[in-house]
A and B are shown apart, each in its own frame.
Chain A
Amino acid sequence: MILIPCPWCGPRDAGEFHYSGETTPRPDAASATPAQWRDYLYFPANPRGEVTETWYHRMGCRQFFVLQRDTDTNESIPPGRPQ
């Protein structure tokens, strides 16, 4: 599969990771309206192109990190930049 640049372990096969989805800012649970909360839960940006997302290195260092990837080419932008 594609290589995911783990900030600690370097570029590793995507099969070692768990894809956690788009990284969206979590609204303040105490003050969010149902519309805002459900927007956060259910409405991703789903861009064709650069997206910011979270990955978990399940079979490696077991760290969560944020990555920018192009959803068309599947390449990380820029390759290997840790967050």
Chain B
Amino acid sequence: MLAVHEFVRLVPGRNAVAAVRAPSHPRRRRPPKYGALALLRHGLSGRPWPRAWADQPLRDSYDVVIIGGGVHGLAAAYYLAVNHGITDVAVLDKGYIGSGGSGRNTAILRSNYLTPEGVRFYDRSMQLYRTLAADLDYNVMFSRRGHLTLAHNDSSLRTMRWRAEVNQMQGIDSEVIDPAEIKRLVPYLDTSAETRYPILGALYHPPGGIIRHDAVVWGYARAAAAQGVHIHSGTEVTGIDTDGGKVRGVRTTKGDIATPVVLNATAGWSTLVAAMAGVRLPIQTFPLQAAVTEPVRPFLHAVVVSGTLHVYVSQTDRGELVFGASVDPFASYSTRGTLEFAEGLATHVIELMPALSKVRLLRQWSGLCDMTPDFSPIMGGTPVEGFYVDVGWGTYGFKAGPVSGEAMARCIADGRAPEIIEAFGLGRFGAGELVGEKGAAAVGH
């Protein structure tokens, strides 16, 4: 528990926030170490492994309550503890942790965005992902594969060049390559001129790759719990109490919690949660589907995305091909999936790689996405003091988990949005100042 609380009120405006000050020298605790030696020890002795994160009783008050136990919420909890010494934190999820978007995405990581702010933001996430396994002592299996965004017409090629230019100016490894080079990287791709939508070129981003999404959630959970963060699964928030424009607490299915700070890190249900605090968000919920095939011998090393064909594909180390496309054509809270998604996907995948006709689809699923008017997230404070949001993540939220957690932790600790997320404030919509990633978001993966 913290000894000192300070509440800082900013100049009145849309983003009034409250801040919780931390003691000046946070002590970092590490979970019991993993590694090959540990594997050997446990194997020889037969001793069971300790719990990855403890099952704690729900307290009746916390300094910070985070709603949403996905990568964003857990990363925020972790960085609150490790960067700011704020450990009296509860992460609540109505299901099991990682049951939302974090467990349903296709786990593609990249930083080759269109705008300078976008590039800076996602590249910081990539930096964190690169060292995440060592930082969390949990192998998150970040596999650097090379990421290709195919262009099938000159308008698209122009956008690829735009992105390449912006990327290179920021020092990101990103370039436009021609069909011959694409074929060398992905031999199974049909780069001939005879296809319906011939490939004219691609944006090639060597540092891009894939990761084991569940492992990222578990790694953050384990490391955060080791710092004293409480993780409560199966705990649904049913109400948020405010008084005089300030957060006072949350009500859950397992009991009520008094708290001055609440972070909304849900996706899909973000407007429902925000409404509990009396905050409106410019978000509409759309399902996003994905699918996986049976394992086949590894043949695809790179991640391949086609904006024109609205499809992307990668192959896991287990041999499964993972596919995704765009959001469903109408808003819904359903995760039941559609046949049209599977059909459209198969049509376009075979267009790109005709040799895959006999590979079988094993499983399709769906998650819910927060779609915003400018294909960019909403991060920072809200008109309700102490109520923060990290929402609006559309189809590109997983890759931003670490940097968002880091930034929201700083935002909560300092009481104001750090520079890296200033452009993403809720107030921009009322001001008519939308963010520029709309150009890059054909199929945002």
Q: Which residues of A contact B (CB under 8 A)?
A: 1, 14-15, 19, 21-22, 34-35, 38-39, 41-44, 46, 48, 51, 53, 71-74
Q: For B432, what are the chain A residues with a Cβ–Cβ distance below 8 Å? A: 34, 38
Residue contact B333 to A72, C-beta cutoff 8 Å:
yes
Residue contact B338 to A46, C-beta cutoff 8 Å:
no
Question: For the complex, would chain B's binding face be called helix, strand, loop or mixed by DSSP majority?
Answer: loop
Residue contact B272 to A48, C-beta cutoff 8 Å:
yes
CA distance in complex: A48, B271 (Å): 10
Residue contact B338 to A1, C-beta cutoff 8 Å:
yes
Residue contact A46 to B283, C-beta cutoff 8 Å:
yes
CA distance in complex: A25, B307 (Å): 34
B35 within 8 A of A: no
CA distance in complex: A15, B343 (Å): 13
Q: What is the size category of the interface that chain B forms with chain A? A: 20 to 34
Residue contact B333 to A48, C-beta cutoff 8 Å:
yes
CA distance in complex: A64, B432 (Å): 29
- Find A42's partner among B334, B338, B340, B429 (CB 8 Å cutoff): B429
Q: Type the 1/0 row for B373-402, where 1 means its CB is closer than 8 Å to any CB of A.
A: 100000000000000000000000000000
Segment among B100-108, B135-143, B244-252, B324-332 that sits at the interface with chain A: B324-332
B255 within 8 A of A: no
Separation in Å of the B143 CB from the closest CB of chain A?
A: 35
Residue contact A19 to B330, C-beta cutoff 8 Å:
yes
Q: For A15, what are the chain B residues with a Cβ–Cβ distance below 8 Å? A: 340
- Find B330's partner among A14, A41, A43, A73 (CB 8 Å cutoff): A14
- Considering the complex, give the chain A residue whose CB is closest to the CB of B336: A74
Contacts A14-B330, A34-B432, A35-B430 given; indicate if A46 touches B285 (C-beta within 8 A): yes
CA distance in complex: A73, B336 (Å): 10
Residue contact A42 to B331, C-beta cutoff 8 Å:
no
Q: For B280, what are the chain A residues with a Cβ–Cβ distance below 8 Å? A: 43
Separation in Å of the A44 CB from the closest CB of chain B?
A: 5
- Find B284's partner among A1, A35, A38, A44 (CB 8 Å cutoff): A44
Residue contact A38 to B331, C-beta cutoff 8 Å:
no
Knowing that A39-B430, A53-B331, A72-B332 touch, tell me 14 more A-B residue pairs with CB under 8 angstroms: A1-B338, A1-B340, A19-B331, A21-B331, A34-B430, A34-B431, A35-B430, A41-B373, A44-B283, A46-B271, A71-B332, A72-B333, A72-B334, A73-B334
Q: For A43, what are the chain B residues with a Cβ–Cβ distance below 8 Å? A: 280-282, 429
Q: For B285, what are the chain A residues with a Cβ–Cβ distance below 8 Å? A: 46, 48, 71
Separation in Å of the B149 CB from the closest CB of chain A?
A: 27
Question: For the complex, would chain A's binding face be called helix, strand, loop or mixed by DSSP majority?
Answer: mixed
CA distance in complex: A24, B333 (Å): 20
- Considering the complex, give the chain B residue whose CB is closest to the CB of A20: B330
For this complex, 29 residue pairs linking A to B, each with C-beta atoms less than 8 Å apart, are A1-B338, A1-B339, A19-B330, A19-B331, A21-B284, A21-B331, A22-B284, A38-B430, A38-B432, A42-B282, A42-B373, A42-B429, A43-B280, A43-B429, A44-B284, A44-B331, A46-B281, A46-B283, A46-B331, A48-B269, A48-B272, A48-B285, A51-B331, A71-B332, A71-B333, A72-B333, A72-B334, A74-B332, A74-B334
- Chain A CB count within 10 A is highest, among B339, B430, B431, B432, for B430
Q: For B430, what are the chain A residues with a Cβ–Cβ distance below 8 Å? A: 34-35, 38-39
Q: For A53, what are the chain B residues with a Cβ–Cβ distance below 8 Å? A: 330-331
Query: 10 tightest A-B contacts by CB?
Result: A19-B330, A42-B282, A46-B271, A42-B429, A44-B284, A42-B373, A43-B282, A48-B333, A71-B333, A72-B333
CA distance in complex: A22, B338 (Å): 22
Q: Type the 1/0 row for B272-310, where 1 means its CB is closer than 8 Å to any CB of A.
A: 100000001111110000000000000000000000000
- Chain A CB count within 10 A is highest, among B269, B282, B285, B330, for B330
Residue contact A46 to B330, C-beta cutoff 8 Å:
no
CA distance in complex: A71, B331 (Å): 7
Q: Type the 1/0 row for B323-360, where 1 means its CB is closer than 8 Å to any CB of A.
A: 00000011111100011100000000000000000000
Residue contact A46 to B334, C-beta cutoff 8 Å:
no
CA distance in complex: A72, B272 (Å): 13
